[in-house]
């Protein structure tokens, strides 16, 4: 079952940020967009490429008034050890957002990404400033996610909210939006039919 259009399941857990342990709650992000993503395990292979890619683009998320939060079923101690491992050795080095420890697996379970083996699928949830899930994508373990697509989707949702118009397939900033009614949408369709 999808969480889209529902209140995001609340959580409180220990996160690691800047080498420190910190209690983090979903409510800490109220009023901002939140990218909450789940990854299978620390010290694996695809995961560090995603975690560092999100960190390397953190300023682009901040420009959209969005925060990023990673989560796995590992402990905060495992997260810290991975953060203290250099990137060239498969570690994370310094990253610019917290990693949550979900050792009870409650958060992964409530977001519907926990599999029977006890790890999380690659789930990504965009939670709007009101605390509702606007977007979710969940997929199998072997393929990493696109930071660029995540940024594009946040920007599209913000555009819909601001203009009341909708974003067609592949929309990016600067492209035309569409008025969502049968009459006015014809302007958009007439342009793309040529």
Catalytic residues: 47
Chain centre to alpha carbon of residue 65: 13
Report DSSP letters for 124-157, one per residue: EEEE-TTSBEEEEEEE-TTSPPPHHHHHHHHHHH
If you count them, how many residues does the chain have? 194
The residues that bridge with 15 in the sheet, in sequence order, are 22, 100
Angle between helices 147-163 and 46-56 (to 10 degrees): 50
Q: Which two tokens stand for residue 18?
A: 């800047």
């Amino acid at each position: 079952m999808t969480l889209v259009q529902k209140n995001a399941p609340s959580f409180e857990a220990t996160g690691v940020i800047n080498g420190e342990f910190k209690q983090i709650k979903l409510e800490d992000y109220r009023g901002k967009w939140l990218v909450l993503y789940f990854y299978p395990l620390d010290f694996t292979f695809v995961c560090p490429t995603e975690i560092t890619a999100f960190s390397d683009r953190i300023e682009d998320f901040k420009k959209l008034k969005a925060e990023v939060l990673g989560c796995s079923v590992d402990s905060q101690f495992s997260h810290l050890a991975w953060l203290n491992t250099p990137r060239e050795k498969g570690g994370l080095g310094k990253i610019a957002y917290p990693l949550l420890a979900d050792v009870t697996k409650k958060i992964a379970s409530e977001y519907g990404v926990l599999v029977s083996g006890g790890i999380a699928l690659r789930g990504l949830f965009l939670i709007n400033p009101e605390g509702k899930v606007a977007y979710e994508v969940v997929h199998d373990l072997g393929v990493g996610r696109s930071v660029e697509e995540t940024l594009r989707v946040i920007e599209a949702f913000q555009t819909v909210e601001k203009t009341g118009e909708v974003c067609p397939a592949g929309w990016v900033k600067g492209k035309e939006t569409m008025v969502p009614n049968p009459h006015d949408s014809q302007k958009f369709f007439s342009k793309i039919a040529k």
